[in-house]
Chain A
Amino acid sequence: MKPLIRISSRAVPLMRENIDTDAIIPSREMRSVSKSGLADGLFAGWRYLDQKSREPDPDFVLNQRRYSGAKILVSGNNFGCGSSREHAVWALAEYGFRAIIAPSFAPIFRGNCIQNGIAPVVLDAEDVRDLAIQAEAGREFALDMNLMTVTVGGRVYAFSIEDEARTMLMEALDLIELTRKSIRVIEAFRAEQKRRRPWLYV
């Protein structure tokens, strides 16, 4: 995972509502217990004309040349709903996405994003529609996690995200690492507990 502070890139407009985790990564694409090797299966049902030969569907937005290397996805309401599979986020991250802009996210999916270095950016439905138009036009987006803004063509869209999530993204921490920041406090606690309740320490 890489720290997410500022990124600029084009954005992919995928304006559908309720995109579920099965659409993001169909279960047949999750072949091993590993967290990698999933990018090929990202949106497989929409991305390929033929699932076996993997002939790309030229109409699907992700297959359009101008979006290659894009790090931002713009989408509809309730993004990431459905099964809680973390593979959906792993696939998006492996493909290269670092931020998803949508009016709302499914809660578990949102938590998984933060754990895996993808910023879930929530903006008004109207702003998101605006941004989709800008994305369609191939404009460059600038995301700044410090200022909590998305800037496109001179217009600034401010969003909010809770401190803990922002720290995790900006410092590329997962929950374990976040907790490990308190390791001194934990060690001190355990030393004190060992003194008071020594039988707990086998």
Chain B
Amino acid sequence: MIQSPDQTGPRTLAQKIWDEHVVVPVNEESELLAIDRLLLHERTGGVALKSLREKGRDVMAPSMVFATMDHIVDTFPNRTDDTLMPTGKAFLQTLRDEAVRSGITLFDLDDPRQGIVHVVSPEQGIVMPGATLVCPDSHTCTQGAFGALAWGIGSTEAEHVLATATLRVKRPQNMRITIDGTLSNGVTAKDIALYIIRKLGAAGAKGHIIEFSGDTVRALDMEARMTLCNMATELSAFTAIIAPDHKVLTYLKGRPFAPDGALWEQASAYWLTLKSDDDAVFDASYQLQASEINPMVSWGNSPQHAIAIGEKVPEFETLDLGDGRATYDRALEYMGLEATSDLGQLPIDGAFIGSCTNSRISDLRRAAAILKGRTVAPGVRAICVPGSTQVKLEAEAEGLDKVFRDAGFEWRESGCSMCFFAGGESFGPGERVISSTNRNFESRQGFKTRTHIASPETVAASAIAGRIVSSVGLENGA
């Protein structure tokens, strides 16, 4: 039986939002939860809308549904519906047709609001504290940074939301990760995320809602909080959340879909009340000190295969990964490494700044600060793909595009691009790439491509050095 929510006892932030949205319990396991926002993209959105229409069903609340083109669009200048991915065009056109028919809002290819779904939703003020938000994409957890309950769903579930504005869901468990203290120079939210995944393992938060708290987290700006929450899915979490504060309000105020006037006053007053009770019970808790964390980089094929830059590739015996020797050996072989290899000695072939993890304006500014007046090492193909058209325009207005270009980076239109290779553009087999993305899985960025994930600072510094180095290391001539 579902534990009947005791709304008088102490509750976590996530439990409070959950309780607010329970329409009715549906069976022994699940509750019917009201969904406030549904986001779609061209890879699965058009198909879900079409399938619904073919069954003769309407979208229940079109005004709560938003769609964008990001996953398979090209990122070359003057792009059209044609994609490098074979049959990609049909996905774009299906989403466009279905969006018009169903009356949902679409940020189309030529719309200045277009971009990666988890970048544009906050940008447009679609996500907000206390809301339930879902999207058929596993990195929807990014948006928990706003104090929303935001999680990734399957495409059949997306159809269910379209038709009923609800989902049948099982109540997840709760985990709290508290980080206190001041981060060292050159350490970013991405490094925190990789550090946690290494510590807890890639299944370390399986099925949990992680609440990030502590003064290190509170000190992070909104974009850094998004980066931290983005990586929760790499811990197999249900999602992540951070209690909303004034930074959330400052970020959202005046955004196109955020409330304004009297409604803003009413909403923001409520948002600031949203937090876990002091004596709320979490199923698991971890405490970290910011000073433990150094700039990180991944060495293998799972985000849990991470080390501090400067550390050697760990020997199997020193690891507690939960997967066996064969997986470890395979990761080393795939990555062209050996135990105790020094990553800093290996030449890189590619550098990629982009994705819903690290392609917002602050990411680009920090990378540009490192690139300014320098050039990319010979033989390194370096690419920057802004997370949204708005980020791109803002960066161009500040002259960041010139910094990237002058350094030798390609400057692209926004999209998911080489965060994942779906038959579109890719790096080459065996190429070693330093990337600001979230997944270093086999062949994620191209067939047999060797991906090392790190912060945008590390990507920029490594692109200059031609080998993996942190921004601090680059300054010190390491």
Contacts and interface: CB of A to CB of B under 8 A. Distances in A.
Contacts of A33: 47
Nearest to B259: A199
A28 interface: no
B23 A199 contact: no
Interface of A: 33, 162-164, 175-176, 179-180, 182-183, 185-186, 189-190, 193, 197-202
Given A186-B165, A190-B34, 9 more contacts: A164-B27, A179-B160, A179-B168, A180-B164, A186-B34, A189-B23, A200-B36, A200-B131, A202-B257
B165 A190 contact: yes
A120 B163 CA distance: 27
A179 B164 contact: yes
10 contacts: A33-B47, A180-B163, A186-B34, A190-B165, A197-B267, A197-B270, A200-B36, A200-B128, A202-B63, A202-B64
Contacts of A190: 34, 61, 165
Contacts of B26: 164, 179
Interface string B441-455: 000000000000000
A185 B165 contact: no
B109 to A, nearest CB: 22
B36 to A, nearest CB: 5
B57 A176 contact: yes
A169 B47 CA distance: 26
A199 B267 contact: yes
B75 to A, nearest CB: 26
Interface of B: 23-24, 26-27, 32, 34, 36, 47, 55, 57, 61, 63-64, 128, 130-131, 156, 159-160, 163-166, 168, 257, 259, 263-264, 266-267, 270
Contacts of B259: 199
Given A197-B270, A199-B263, A182 B23 contact: yes
Contacts, number: 60
Contact of B23 (A162, A186, A198): A186
Contacts of A201: 63-64
Return the 9 tightest CB-CB contacts between A and B, nearest first: A199-B259, A199-B267, A189-B23, A179-B164, A176-B163, A199-B263, A200-B36, A164-B27, A202-B63
A180 B58 CA distance: 12
Contact of A176 (B32, B128, B160): B160
A180 B160 CA distance: 10
Contact of A179 (B32, B36, B266): B32
B241 to A, nearest CB: 17
A193 B130 CA distance: 12
B128 A199 contact: yes
A189 B24 CA distance: 9
A176 B36 contact: no
B67 to A, nearest CB: 15
Contacts of A183: 164
A183 B164 CA distance: 7
A108 to B, nearest CB: 11
Given A162-B27, A185-B24, A202-B64, A193 B163 contact: no
A89 to B, nearest CB: 13
A142 to B, nearest CB: 29
A162 B38 CA distance: 30
Contacts of A180: 163-164
A175 B257 contact: no
A191 to B, nearest CB: 11
A190 B164 CA distance: 11
A179 B35 CA distance: 13
A162 B24 CA distance: 19
Nearest to A163: B27
Contacts of B63: 201-202
Nearest to B126: A202
A57 to B, nearest CB: 34
Q: Which of A162, A185, A197, A201 has the most CB of B within 10 A?
A: A197
B47 A175 contact: no
B32 A182 contact: yes
A37 to B, nearest CB: 15
Nearest to B63: A202
Contacts of B47: 33
A130 B165 CA distance: 47
Contacts of B168: 175, 179
Given A176-B164, A179-B168, A189-B23, A198 B64 contact: no
Given A33-B47, A186-B23, A202-B64, A197 B130 contact: yes
Contacts of B263: 198-199
A186 B32 CA distance: 9
A163 B27 CA distance: 9
Nearest to B64: A202
Contacts of A202: 63-64, 257
Nearest to A189: B23
Nearest to A178: B26
A125 to B, nearest CB: 26
Contacts of A193: 34
Contact of B159 (A162, A176, A189): A176
